[in-house]
Amino acid sequence: MKPVAFDYLAAESLESALAALSQAGGDGKILAGGQSLMPMLNFRLVRPSILIDINPIARLAYIQGAAGTIRIGALTRHHALETSILLKARLPILTAAMRHVAHLAIRNRGTIGGSLCHADPAAELPMLALLLDAKIGIHSLKGRRTAAAHKFFIGALTTSLGDDEMVTDVELPELPPGTGWAFEEAARRTGDFALAAVAVTISARDATVIEARLAMMGVGETPLRAHAAEALLTGRAIDAAAIEEAVAAIEATVAPNTDLHASADYRQFLIAALARRAIDTAWRRACGVPP
Ligand SMILES: Cc1cc2nc3c(=O)[nH]c(=O)nc-3n(C[C@H](O)[C@H](O)[C@H](O)COP(=O)(O)OP(=O)(O)OC[C@H]3O[C@@H](n4cnc5c(N)ncnc54)[C@H](O)[C@@H]3O)c2cc1C
C-alpha cells in the first residue's frame, strides 16, 4: 500500500517545527529516522495531514557529558549512540543495548527521540530510559517541560506526549562509581525485536548492594521496573539465594501475554532466565570480577 497524501515540511528550526505541529491541530507527525513511521504510513496505520521533517535541525543531534549526567539530542542516531566513546566510558549498558537494536542500516537512520516517541513495547531505548530514570525533554510553543520516563510510557505505542509537543532531548543521570551492569536479551534472530529482555544495574559498597535497578520488556504493554526484586536485592551481598528470591518476585509480578511470537509461558520462562543471568553479571561487575 501507499500512504494517504500528505503535506511535507522540511523544518529548518525547532520553532518552525513546533509552529507546524501546533497548526496541524493533532494531525501532524514528526519525521525523524522514518524507520517506524514510514511502515506505519505505508500500511495506513497513521494518516497525518502533514509530515514535519526535523532532519534539517542539526542542533538536535548531540551527545553531551556534564557532571553526573549525560544529555542526548532527540535526533541522535542509534549508530551514534552505539559508537560513542563517551557513552562507552560512562554508560556502557547503553552501548551494549544498542547492538540489539535492529540492523545497522536501521541504526544509521533511527533516532533516540523516534524510538522513545514510538514506544514499542519491545524496544531497547524505552526500557533503558526507564531503568536509568531518564528525564525526557519536551518542547511546544508554550515552552519546555520534562517528563520522567516512568510517566512518559503509558501503553503500547502510546506516550504522554501532547499533540503539539515534540521530544527534543533526553537526560540520563550517571550511575555512581562501583556500579555493575548487565543487558540480556532473547530474540529469534539477530536484529529482530526482542521476545524479552532484562537490564540490571547494581551499585555496591563494601560488598553490599546500595542500589539495585531491574527493568524488563516483553512482559507488558510498556517496559517495567521490577521494584519488588530491586528491594530484595538491596542491603545485602548477592548470592544464589538472593538471585532466586529476586527471580521469584519477578515471576510473581509479571503476567505476559501470548502472541504470534511467543506463548505467555515461554516469555515467563525467558524473563526469569534472563534476570538470573543479568543479576549475576551485574553483581560480578560491581565487585570488580569479570563476568
Ligand atoms: C526491520 C526493523 C527492525 C527493527 N528492530 C528494532 C529493534 O530491535 N529494537 C528497537 O528498539 N527498534 C527497532 N526498530 C525501530 C527503529 O529503532 C526505529 O528507528 C525507531 O523505533 C523509531 O525511530 P525513528 O527515528 O526512525 O522514528 P520515526 O520512524 O521517524 O518516528 C517514529 C514515531 O515517533 C514520532 N517522533 C519521532 N521523533 C519525534 C520527536 N522528536 N518528537 C515527537 N515525536 C517524534 C513520529 O512522529 C512517529 O510517530 C526496527 C525497525 C525496523 C524497520
Evaluate if residue 177 carries a pLDDT over 90.
Answer: no
Residues 68, 174: contact at Cβ < 8 Å?
yes
Q: How far is the CA of 36 from the centre of ligand 1 (A)?
A: 4
Residue 117 alpha carbon, nearest atom of ligand 1: 34
The closest of 254, 253, 249 to 212, measured between CA atoms, is 249
How far, in Å, is the centroid of ligand 1 from the Cα of 14? Answer: 19
In the prediction, which pLDDT does 78 show?
98
- Mean residue pLDDT of the chain comes to 96
**Helix, strand or coil, per DSSP, at residue 266:** helix
Predicted confidence band at 133 (pLDDT cuts at 50, 70, 90)? Answer: very high
pTM reported for the whole predicted model:
0.97
DSSP string, 19-88: HHHHHHTT-EEEESS-TTHHHHHHTTS---SEEEE-TT-GGG--EEEETTEEEEETT-BHHHHHH-HHHH
pLDDT band at 191 (very low <50, low <70, confident <90, very high): confident
The answer to whether the CB of 111 is under 6 A from ligand 1 is yes
Closest CA to 32 of 102, 153, 118, 142: 118
- Ligand 1: which residue has its CA nearest to atom 14? 102
pLDDT in tens, 276-290: 999 999 999 999 987
Q: Long-range contacts for 56-60 (Cβ within 8 Å, ≥24 apart)?
A: 56/10, 56/11, 56/12, 57/11, 57/12, 57/13, 57/14, 57/17, 59/14, 60/14, 60/113, 60/168, 60/169
Ligand 1 atom closest to the Cα of residue 60 is: 41
pLDDT average, residue stretch 18-29: 97
Question: Residue 110 Cα, ligand 1 centroid: separation in angstroms?
Answer: 6
Residue 56 has pLDDT above 90, yes or no: yes
Binning pLDDT at 50, 70 and 90, where does residue 24 land? very high
**96-125: burial string, b at 16+ Cβ within 10 Å, e else:** bbbebbbeeebbebbbbbbbbbbbbbbbbb
